[in-house]
């Protein structure tokens, strides 16, 4: 982390005069000079928000000027982290759920990072844009189609930008495969698979004393994510967390930039995983053993696109299983599958035999990872957190559209309400709104293959 701090300081100085051009400029986009120092406020400093703070305070071009949370202990912890880093004390906003509005009114804040429970994401992001603050919001960005439109409409009305902080878009193998896609190694793209396949039972339940596991409590008797996240499994039969898988695939498929989602169908299995976990760890007599969970254990969604590709997304978080985002990228000339770590390219691989993906991924290693990989290693999630925050900070300093913008946030997050409707209607197709209002036809893809951000 020390070497990363020094590296970031050096690159911040070296890049101060860099000319940065937005990949798409709206009619209301502001044209400001690039800031040398970005004043950032954090709204929500739980485990995720604290992780962002730890990365931000290493940067010489960022000053964390404000913290907001309803948990005084988290505020105290983060205030100490800032003090130990030798940084100036931030403004504190801990006066209740809506004190974030006072943070947004502060002239000491240029940009905000929102890492709160899901139901607050859209309202806080919308309020931030209305206040003229560049907003970074954790995933998913929205829960309903109305909220998806709120993000887009507010961005267009105010000219203020927001970025969905989808860190998997910056995973090393994902960016290497994106490099292969851009160099047409797979040929014309045909099909994708992705998802969120992650045993989250220890995240959805705890003992009220530790954030992960140790008991079968959720809601008011729990802490951390189990306090709010599990309720979505009680109330909604939907893919409530699509963007870790869909975000990288959407970039490869040029969604909102020459392509778009047209419709989806979704199906859900029965729901037994969370109940079984409660009975196994808390007993049949535990009150939570009587809770009826609405969310199916395995939810499968199929999307079709304007260019004719299909995308299968799997949500599988309530059963025992190893972690995988289940990526497959398939084109006319070959395919990559993350499970098995394998690639096959016609004319390059032995006929009907998989290649180990490592050699291919090393050959097409992304310029960002070549430049920053050593220094990103300690940033969290295998280094991905460094890259997503780096893109946010650089975009916010220049006040330009980020790589993952309001239209992406809306389109990717729309999977949740649309999957819910399709499941409720026994798999009936659901049409995707065109959040770009036709502009996807002429929007140019973001220039991903570079070593800046």
Of 139, 145, 176, the C-alpha closest to 404 is 139
Instruction: Judge whether residue 407 has pLDDT over 90.
Output: yes
Q: What single-letter DSSP state applies at residue 193?
A: E
Q: Residues 170-196: what's their mean pLDDT?
A: 98
Q: Is the pLDDT of residue 18 over 80?
A: no
Single out the residue of 166, 188, 186, 309 nearest to residue 242, CA to CA: 166
Please report which confidence band the pLDDT of residue 378 belongs to, taking 50, 70 and 90 as the band edges: confident
**pLDDT confidence of residue 6:** 55
SS3 sequence of 37-54: CEEEEEECCCHHHHHHHH
**What single DSSP character describes residue 259?**
B
Is pLDDT at 7 greater than 80 in this prediction? Answer: no
pTM value is: 0.93
Measured CA to CA, the distance from residue 364 to residue 373 in angstroms comes to: 14
Alpha helices (H) along 308-383 = 357-363, 367-376
- Tell me the pLDDT tens digit for each residue of 227-272: 999 999 999 999 999 999 999 999 999 999 999 999 999 999 999 9
Kindly report, residue by residue over 206-233, the tens digit of the pLDDT.
Answer: 999 999 999 999 999 999 999 999 999 9
Average pLDDT of the chain is 94
């Amino acid at each position: 982390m020390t070497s990363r701090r020094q590296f970031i300081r050096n690159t911040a100085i070296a890049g101060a005069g860099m000319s940065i051009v937005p990949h798409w400029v709206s009619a209301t986009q502001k044209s400001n000079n690039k800031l040398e120092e970005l004043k950032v406020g954090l709204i929500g400093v739980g485990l995720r928000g604290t992780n962002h703070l730890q990365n931000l305070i290493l940067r010489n071009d960022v000053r964390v000027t404000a913290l907001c949370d309803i948990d005084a202990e988290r505020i105290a912890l983060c205030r100490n982290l800032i003090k130990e880093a030798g940084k100036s004390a931030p403004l504190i906003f801990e006066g209740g759920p809506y004190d974030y509005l006072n943070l947004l009114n502060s002239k000491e804040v240029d940009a905000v990072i929102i890492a709160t429970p899901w139901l607050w994401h859209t309202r806080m992001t919308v309020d931030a844009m209305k206040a003229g603050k560049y907003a970074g919001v954790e995933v998913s960005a929205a829960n309903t189609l109305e909220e998806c439109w709120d993000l887009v409409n507010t961005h267009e009305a105010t000219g203020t930008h927001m970025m969905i902080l989808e860190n998997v878009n910056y995973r090393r193998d994902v960016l290497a495969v994106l490099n292969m896609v851009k160099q047409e190694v797979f040929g014309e793209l045909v099909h994708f698979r992705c998802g969120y396949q992650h045993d989250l039972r220890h995240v959805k339940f705890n003992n009220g004393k530790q954030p992960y596991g140790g008991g079968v409590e959720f809601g008011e008797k729990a802490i951390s994510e189990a306090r709010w996240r599990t309720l979505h499994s009680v109330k909604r039969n939907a893919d409530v967390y699509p963007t870790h898988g869909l975000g990288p695939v959407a970039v490869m498929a040029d969604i909102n930039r020459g392509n778009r989602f047209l419709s989806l169908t979704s199906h859900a299995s029965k729901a037994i995983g969370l109940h079984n976990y409660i009975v196994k760890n808390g007993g049949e007599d535990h009150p939570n053993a009587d809770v009826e969970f609405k969310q199916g254990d395995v939810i499968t969604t199929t999307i079709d696109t304007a260019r004719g590709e299909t995308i299968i997304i799997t949500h599988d978080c309530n059963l025992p299983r190893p972690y995988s985002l289940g990526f497959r990228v398939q084109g006319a000339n070959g395919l990559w599958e993350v499970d098995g770590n394998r690639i096959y390219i016609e004319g390059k691989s032995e006929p009907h035999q998989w290649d180990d993906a490592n050699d291919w991924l090393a050959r097409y290693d992304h310029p960002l990872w070549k430049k920053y990989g050593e220094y990103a290693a300690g940033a969290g999630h295998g280094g991905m957190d460094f890259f997503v925050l780096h893109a946010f900070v650089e975009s916010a300093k220049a006040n330009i559209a980020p790589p993952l913008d309001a239209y992406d946030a809306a389109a990717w997050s729309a999977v949740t309400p649309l999957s819910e409707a399709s499941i409720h209607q026994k798999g009936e197709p659901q049409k995707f709104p065109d959040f770009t209002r036709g502009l996807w036809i002429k929007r140019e893809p973001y220039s991903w293959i570079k070593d800046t951000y």
